[in-house]
Structure 1
Amino acid sequence: MEALAVRLSGLDSHAEGAIRVVAFYDTLMRRRVDLPALARASAGLAECAAGIRIHGTGQVVRAASDGTPLRGASAAASSTVQITLDEEEIGTVWLERPGPPVPLDEVLLDRLAIAAAAVLERYGPARTTMADPALVELAISADGDRAARARALRLLGFAASSPLCVTAVRSARPLDQIAGLVCPSRPVKSAPLDGVGVIMAAAIDPSGFPPDVRAGIGGGGSADQSWRQALIALRFTGPRRPVVHHDDLGAMALLAQIPVDAMRDNADVAAIARLSAEDLEILDAYCTTGSLRRAADVLHRHHSSIARRLDQIGRTLAADLTTPTGLTRARLALTAVHLLNN
């Protein structure tokens, strides 16, 4: 490895030095070095300590200019560059030069970051959140060859035989940011697919979703089954219930299997679909809380005015909403209308 080291102090021009640095790292990458060897070579080239830190694992590799491994906390970095893979920041590389950075430090660190990303991708799975959408689609597809799906899961970093929780997400937030919040401990993979975000992990923390995110969480099982459940759960989400776990739906999940035409033809569903936005909000609050007074509290209205509106809605539905049967009919029809709009 020492024979590869090109001393920066011997270079006559910045351009020539940059070319030599690029060639140096190209040679290292062809030799398939690991992170410790990469750190040692970089420290020898820069003639000062160099370090690599991987965020996902917390791994830190440092080496002195003579190639000796360094332990403990690093000294103050003179310059740093982020390691990125699949457009995600996965780590940091740095130099610990005693004085100010020299002109070629920026080139050296850029190439070191690229080389470190290549090492992680080669010996991975790479510790990134974002994944190839085509690979994710293959892993969660119910069609195709089982062996191909198993291979896709392995490439994503998951064992084909292990239960997997897949989540369907709709949000304007970056998908990798959401995945990091709901699954702070790796492995987790995510990708956009047909307008819906896909998050794959062994387990998901529902409390980690920001309030503006709609998420349907599938049950733990095979990836394709969990994805189907996640899409069903996503249809049940709304302003009052932005995150829905398929396991919590129970028999309600069966409503998602009813043909659209059959839903629209139902008299209760058709009647609720004709209600005004205000009446729909009142009915939704009442069905959600199961109480006239609690619905009034949620809507910040007087309970007597809510009672009058519910009485009018009940006449429209030809059902007494104060009875268990009437309330059940309203809940089912309201859910059906919600599914038709989602």
Structure 2
Amino acid sequence: MNGLLLRLSALDADAENAVRVIAFFDTLISTRATLRTLVRETARLAECAVGVADCELGVCLRSDPAGQVIAHTPEPVGPAVREISPSSRVWLERAGEPFALDTILLERFAFAAALLLDRTRGPLPEPGDEALVELALSASAGEAERARAVRLLRFDPSAGVHVLAVAAAPGDLRHLLPALAAADPGVRSASIGPVHVVLTRSLPADLREAAGEGVRIGVGDALPAIDAPESWRQARTALRFATREGPCPAVVQAGQLGALAAIAARLRAEDIAKVADVGVLDALATDPHGADTLAVLAAFCATGSARKAAVEVYRHHSTVTARLAQAEARLGFSFGTPAGRQRLELAILLRQLRDTAE
């Protein structure tokens, strides 16, 4: 597609170049490009910002010439605006004199946008259907489809929404969902595979307390509802770090992960398998009282103290001390130094990431 055209500023208004512009948009249509791709590639060709909006579907996308797409920008008015329907339009934001082929570019841009928007106007699941939540979270769906699903779920596509990934048995959700509904009466939820997903505009002041026992939660950033797939991706990553016991809490905010998010994104299970400390923890887990030993190690990392760890796991201090000494001997380093404790925490964390790989 990039080889079809030079920059629009370099093209004369002759029949051959007009055909090249038409072929550019035909290629986008035939490859079933998304609305976002159409806007981005049109801006690159036009060498100016362009946009498309449909107030009925709740879609408004704008891209700059570098291909940076943003949602829900104010719509300009002027001669470089082409109406598609009473509710939708496209536009060019050309500074200065128009280029020779601006008129045909705007016409073909409008034609391509109309086709993509019309594909969205078919029937969707009824409001309240879990399929609407899945569509709102689908990164493969087009912006128009997601915007329509979001509106049927009664969210404003431009308003901030948190997506939560919740791991819990169905019976353990009895405290969480009412607490979320109290913070946002418009909360929506669904089950996607083994994970429960929640869309909410607001979070309870103490989400961990509201969750109750046996619940782990990953919280995505508050993003415009049209960008819910990104918040959902963040929530699933955060959930991998959430533990009911260990160095991480049961509720993890994606925005607080920092460099840990990069570790989760880049380390594969086969990479973690090569870490010797993780292998030793696996071996410890198979020993008699292995689960108890790992619980002690996690509690020690969380508290930084053998005595506090004993309180956490309801064991006598001498038992915890013996478990720690056994683990130190097997791992080959002391937990009494900051470096040793950090190494232990990282081994426990890597083991958890391996066991919670998506």
**If the length of structure 1 is used for normalisation, what is the TM-score?**
0.58
Question: How far is 1:244 from its partner?
Answer: 2.3
- Tell me, yes or no, if the aligned pair for 2:153 and 2:188 is still in contact at 8 Å: yes
Give distance in 2, aligned partners of 1:201 and 1:340: 29
Mapping for residues 242-281 of structure 1, pairs under 5 Å: 242-257=250-265, 258-275=267-284, 276-281=290-295
Rate the CA distance shift 1:179–1:301 in 2: closer, same or farther, 3 A. closer
1:61-210 alignment to 2 at 5 Å? 131-173=128-170, 178-184=176-182, 185-205=184-204, 206=207, 207-210=209-212
Change over 3 Å in CA distance of 1:135–1:269 after alignment to 2: same
C-alpha contact (below 8 Å) 2:175/2:210 kept by paired residues:
no
Offset of 1:326 from its aligned partner?
0.9
2:180 and 2:187 in contact (8 A); partners too: no
Task: Count residues with an aligned counterpart.
Answer: 214
**Aligned equivalents of 2:199 and 2:271: distance in 1?**
34
Sequence identity, in percent?
37
Equivalent-residue separation in structure 2 for 1:179 and 1:286 (angstroms): 32
Taking the TM superposition and a 5 Å limit, the aligned residue runs for 1:319-338 are 319-338=333-352
Gapped regions of structure 2 (runs ≥ 5): 1-125, 285-289
What whole-Å deviation, never above 9, does each CA across 1:268-309 have from its counterpart, x for those lacking one?
111112112121111111011111221122223343442232
Q: CA deviation at 1:177?
A: 6.7
3-state SS, counterpart of residue 314 of structure 1 = helix
SS at match of 2:152: helix
Select the residue among 296, 304, 307 that pairs with 2:310. Answer: 296
Larger Rg: 1
CA change 1:303–1:210 in 2 (3 A) is closer
Is 1:179–1:189's contact at 8 Å kept on the other side of the alignment?
A: no
How far apart are residue 192 of structure 1 and its match? 1.2
What does residue 314 of structure 1 align with?
Answer: 328
**Structure 2 CA distance, aligned partners of 1:290 and 1:160?**
44
Counterpart amino acid of 2:342?
A: T
Tell me which amino acid in the other structure corresponds to 1:261.
Answer: E
Q: Distance in 2 between matches of 1:283 and 1:210?
A: 24
Contact 1:176–1:190 (8 Å) recurs in 2: no
Secondary structure class of the residue paired with 2:155: coil
Q: CA deviation at 1:213?
A: 2.3
What residue is the counterpart of 1:231 in the other structure? 236
Q: Is the 8 A contact 2:180 2:200 kept in 1?
A: no
Match of 1:219 in 2: 221
SS of the residue 1:293 aligns to: helix
Report which stretch shifted further, 280-289 or 307-316.
Answer: 307-316
Amino acid paired to 2:185: R
RMSD: 2.1
TM-score, scaled to structure 2: 0.55
Give me the whole-angstrom Cα distance separating, in 2, the residues matched to 1:178 and 1:299. Answer: 25
Letter of the aligned partner of 1:295 in structure 2?
A
Deviates more, 1:287-296 or 1:241-250: 241-250
- CA 1:282 to 1:234, structure 2 compared with 1: closer, same or farther past 3 Å? same
